[in-house]
Amino acid sequence: MTNYNNTAGLKYHTTQETLLYASLSMGSSFMFLYINSVLLFTLRSKSVFCETSRYILLYNLLFADTVYLISSSLLYLLAAFRIKLTFYMCSVVIFPPQLVYLISPLTLTVMSLERFVAICYPLRHAVIITIRNTGVAITLVWLSSSLRIIIRVLLLLCSNSEFSFDLHMKDFCSDEALLRVPMYYYFVTAYSGIVFLSAGVTIICSYIGVTLVARSASTNKASARKASQTLLLHLFQLGVILISTFHSNIITAAATIMERSHVLRLHSLSFIFLNILPRCLSTFIYGFRDQTIRPFLIQHLCCQWRCSAFLNKANAGE
């Protein structure tokens, strides 16, 4: 009887910890999801945002980050509460984050190039960075990110592994548990490495070019300096997204040497800082730093009649 009571108490304590960490993670996720959603709405509320390439790229970045945030939150809840799905349902849940995973680094690359052209070639910016060219760039970004899904489907069809999509998975829903084809992970590792390396080199080169212009230019130094700061933030955001790719590896390694309560704590913290935070940095980099977006974003985040005084101060500070 004593052993039974101890076991029941341990299970109750573990359940309470699971609820606590899940509430903390989901609270943070919903807060940032709300801010991202408001910024998405803001970018569609004014024609100037719909007709400017920089804001169109920002909308694409935020949309992909929001989809990834929703999908990763769902996967976190399924793992936290030990809910196992069928192979078919897991495929449906895994598809969105796999599709948009590389949208962020690729879009950050295009946005960095746009800032580089705007500062280093201001007279040619309107000719190079057009709405049409921006649409082509966004299409190429989505096609490049979709390549992982295409290769995944082809390898799944060509693999010798036989399973029914109606069967329940033995493990929690994840990319690793769904498709156990070594060749796919070799491809994903190589392809992701090329994308992140190319994005990093592009952002660094753009930063160097903008910094040189900021030092040599006699006018418009403030704009060049702000662009160089934005590129640095892009590089930081890219680095955090790259670190987030090791999230599952960190949890898997910790599960072999740590108790479940410590693994839950680590899972919650790593989910907030490695999954949620990288997908919300765009809101702070552009939403609150951009003088055009900031007044409208604050207005939509707060009640207009309660924030009128703060809006007046924000407009006066511009």
Q: How much is the pLDDT for 132?
A: 93
Task: Tell me if 66 sits within 8 A of 280, measured CB to CB.
Answer: no
pLDDT at 111 over 90: yes
Q: How much is the pLDDT for 205?
A: 92
pLDDT band at 162 (very low <50, low <70, confident <90, very high): low
The one-letter code for the residue type at 93 is: V
pLDDT tens digits, 1-19: 433 333 333 343 446 666 7
Per-domain residue ranges of the chain? 2-161+171-315
pLDDT tens digits, 5-58: 333 333 434 466 667 666 777 777 788 888 888 889 888 888 888 889 999 999
175-182: average pLDDT? 70
pLDDT at 222 over 80: no
pTM over 0.75: yes
Q: How much is the pLDDT for 275?
A: 79
How large a percentage of the chain has pLDDT more than 70? 76
Q: How much is the pLDDT for 2?
A: 37
Q: How much is the pLDDT for 293?
A: 86
Would you list the DSSP string of 252-302?
Answer: HHHHHHS-HHHHHHHHHHHIIIIIIGGGTHHIIIIITT-TTHHHHHHHHHS
175-192: average pLDDT? 76
pLDDT tens digits, 261-304: 677 677 777 777 777 888 888 877 787 788 888 888 887 777 54
pLDDT at 92 over 50: yes
3-state class (DSSP) for residue 193: helix
How large a percentage of the chain has pLDDT more than 90? 20
- Per the DSSP assignment, residues forming a β-bridge with 168 are 86
Task: Give me the torsion for CA of 279, 280, 282, 287, rounded to 10°.
Answer: 160
79-106: average pLDDT? 84
Task: Give me the torsion for CA of 31, 148, 194, 205, rounded to 10°.
Answer: -50
Q: How much is the pLDDT for 107?
A: 94
Angle at alpha carbon of residue 316, lines to 311 and 318, rounded to 5°: 100
Q: How much is the pLDDT for 312?
A: 57
CATH of domain 2-161+171-315: 1.20.1070.10
178 Cβ contact list (under 8 Å, min separation 6)? 87, 90, 91, 94, 169
